[in-house]
């Protein structure tokens, strides 16, 4: 990539390719500079440090994932919406396991907007169960934690037994939906 086209977005593009190909641990400023064809100090014009690059990368990933989850849920409600949300979550993580692993789970200003959109999608789906305010927040946390926990174990190789993971995830979704119905 010629120096003239380097920007913060271009640096994130290069970082994303590294993460996709080699995993989050391979992300260094030196690796990004090498792929971009510049000296490492040239990156400091676009990102302050590796921590900022990870924040920018995480924001890009979270926005991408939130867009996909929103599209999956659009036009659906109640069980169909929660099932679509959880299925899209897993689909994204399985399609992009390294990106998913690179996404920061702690609040960070650059990911805040995507996080708000993600929660708004989930809260809208939960309204069909009559959940609002604190009840909806608690349920949203449970749905998010459940989907994240399963896909983190799955993408990390944490399920070694031979039973089909699709069946386990379908059961998990059923359990979540059953739990949501008992809250009404």
Per-residue pLDDT of the chain (184 residues; tens, 9 = 90+): 445 578 999 999 999 999 999 999 999 999 999 999 999 999 999 999 999 999 999 999 999 999 999 999 999 999 999 999 999 999 999 999 999 999 987 777 888 888 899 999 999 999 999 998 999 999 999 999 999 999 999 999 999 999 999 999 999 999 999 999 986 5
Q: What CA–CA distance (Å, rounded) separates 150 from 171?
A: 12
Where is 129: in which H helix or E strand? none
Q: Which pLDDT value is given to residue 7?
A: 94
Q: What CA–CA distance (Å, rounded) separates 23 from 46?
A: 22
What structural domains does the chain harbor?
A: 3-47 (1.10.10.60), 58-182 (1.10.357.10)
Q: What CA–CA distance (Å, rounded) separates 147 from 184?
A: 21
Q: How many CB atoms lie within 10 A of CB 153?
A: 12
CA 61 to chain centre: 6
Q: Which pLDDT value is given to residue 1?
A: 41
Tokens 């949501």 appear where? 180
Q: Which pLDDT value is given to residue 98?
A: 97
DSSP state of 76: -
At residue 114's C-alpha, the angle toward residues 108 and 117, to 5°, is 130
């Amino acid at each position: 990539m010629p120096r003239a086209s380097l920007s913060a977005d271009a640096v994130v593009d290069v970082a994303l390719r590294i993460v996709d190909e080699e995993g989050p641990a391979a992300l260094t400023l030196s690796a990004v500079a090498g792929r971009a064809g510049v000296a490492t100090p040239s990156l400091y014009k676009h990102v302050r440090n590796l921590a900022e690059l990870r924040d920018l990368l995480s924001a890009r990933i979270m926005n991408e994932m939130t867009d996909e989850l929103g599209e999956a849920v659009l036009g659906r409600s109640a069980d169909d919406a929660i099932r679509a949300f959880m299925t899209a979550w897993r689909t994204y993580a399985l399609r992009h396991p390294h990106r998913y692993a690179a996404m920061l789970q702690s609040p960070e200003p650059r990911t805040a907007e995507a996080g708000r959109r993600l929660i708004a999608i989930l809260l809208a789906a939960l309204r069909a169960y009559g959940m609002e305010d604190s009840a909806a927040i608690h349920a949203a946390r449970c749905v998010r934690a459940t989907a994240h926990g399963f896909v983190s174990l799955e993408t990390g190789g944490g399920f070694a037994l031979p039973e089909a993971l699709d069946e386990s995830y379908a059961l998990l979704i059923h359990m979540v939906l059953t739990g949501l119905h008992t809250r009404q």
